[in-house]
Amino acid sequence: MKLINGCIATLAGLSLSAGAWAEESSRILVEQELMAVANDLIQSAELDITARKSADVQGAMIDNQAHLGISSRKWLDSEIALFEHKYGYRPTELFFTSDVITILVNEENPIGGVTIDELELIFGCHDQPEQMHWNKILGEEYQTIKPVAVENELAKHLNFAKLVECESPQSSLTQFYSEREQLIDAIADDKNLMGYTVYAELEDGVRRLDIINRSGERFDLNKETILSGRYPLSNVYYLYLNLPPNRNYLTDAEKYFVGLTLGEEGQETIAEHGFISLPPEAIHRNRVRLSLDAPIVYGGYK
């Protein structure tokens, strides 16, 4: 679909129509995990728009409650059909960011990967939590696995939080550190520690584990497996827009948030909240969606 004549020369020369979309253009709907980063982005850009929490971005956009939304859920075919029936065109979908949890061990630990079920046993919540031994994973005699993590690090990280957050009377054996640096130092000093933390550049003394999903498929951590949705401990967020194909302008908010999906602007703010920046392949895919580039087939996602 051609979108606003190739997004109007890469967003640079747009004419803006004040009040054209009225109240619906004064808000962006986001899931709870992205509220803080959305508010910081809006404040830094001095946009006249409000971020509002929504558990159903798709339904709200179909109901014309907003023309911008960020969601970790892709639209269902039935939702696209409802939107297209109402507006005569499809919603625009762009990669926005993702949250990722990585599992770390000491660089000398011989383990190569860990299953979701094993992670649940090691870090999860149980009525009577029991310590797990390395020999259950490695098949050799090692000491007890010591689960560690950073306190309050999962507030914005949806999938893994469901796996490890406890409700009374359940509990876990995980030891929490107040800072990421403390966690890294501890794992680097003790071969029996296994920790979870948000994605970041790999530090000395530790290494990441591959994750094996419940179907037995094994995935290492890279931006391709993350953004394709294949890495089990990641959560991809998409920017959705209601962009009529015959409209020849973008609002300030649309222009800014679309710009975030095409380059480096705002990426520092996104990273500060524990989310990852888009790789070149994802940016290219976004540009193709906006008719700014010709399509190229990549192996990881489309």
CATH number at residue 246: 3.40.190.10
Domain range enclosing 12: 4-98+235-289
Report the domain count for the chain: 2
Helix (H, G, I), strand (E, B) or coil at 139: coil
Q: Please, which pLDDT band fits residue 13 given cuts at 50, 70 and 90?
A: very low
79 and 158 inside one domain: no
Region of poorest pLDDT, from 89-93, 149-153, 186-190:
149-153
Contacts of 272 (CB under 8 A, 6+ apart): 40
Check residues 208 and 201 and name the one with the higher pLDDT: 208
Judge whether 89 lies within some domain.
yes
**Which of 194, 209, 227 marks a domain boundary?**
227
pTM: 0.80
Q: Please, which pLDDT band fits residue 23 given cuts at 50, 70 and 90?
A: low
Q: Which tokens in the block code for residue 152?
A: 């309050």
Judge whether 280 lies within some domain.
yes
Judge whether 77 lies within some domain.
yes
59 and 125 inside one domain: no
80 and 115 inside one domain: no
222 and 124 inside one domain: yes
Quick one: which of 128, 276, 138, 140 has its CA closest to 194?
138
Please identify which residue in the block is written with the tokens 């999906």: 261
Omega of the bond prior to 169 within 30 degrees of 0, cis?
Answer: yes
104 and 209 inside one domain: yes
Helix (H, G, I), strand (E, B) or coil at 105: strand
142 and 189 inside one domain: yes
For position 298, what pLDDT does the model report?
53
For position 49, what pLDDT does the model report?
93
Is the per-residue pLDDT at 145 higher than 80?
yes
266 and 285 inside one domain: yes
Model confidence over 84-124: pLDDT tens digits?
999 999 999 999 999 889 999 999 999 999 999 999 989 98
Q: Which long-range contacts (CB under 8 A, 24 or more apart) does 161-164 make?
A: 163/116, 163/119, 163/120, 163/123, 163/124, 164/119, 164/120, 164/123, 164/124, 164/125, 164/196
Judge whether 301 lies within some domain.
no
**Which of 206, 227, 248 marks a domain boundary?**
227
Judge whether 295 lies within some domain.
no
Q: What is the mean pLDDT of the chain?
A: 85
Judge whether 189 lies within some domain.
yes
Judge whether 178 lies within some domain.
yes
Judge whether 218 lies within some domain.
yes
105 and 93 inside one domain: no
Assess contact for 68 and 257: CB atoms under 8 A.
Answer: yes
208 and 116 inside one domain: yes
133 and 193 inside one domain: yes
211 and 245 inside one domain: no
Cα 40-276-184 angle, rounded to 5 deg: 105
**Which of 198, 227, 256 marks a domain boundary?**
227
Distance, in Å, from the CA atom of 69 to the CA atom of 61, rounded to the nearest integer, reads 8
One-letter-per-residue 3-state SS of 269-280: HHHHCCEECCCH
37 and 78 inside one domain: yes
Distances (CA, A) of 18 to 66, 69, 250: 16, 20, 10
For position 276, what pLDDT does the model report?
85
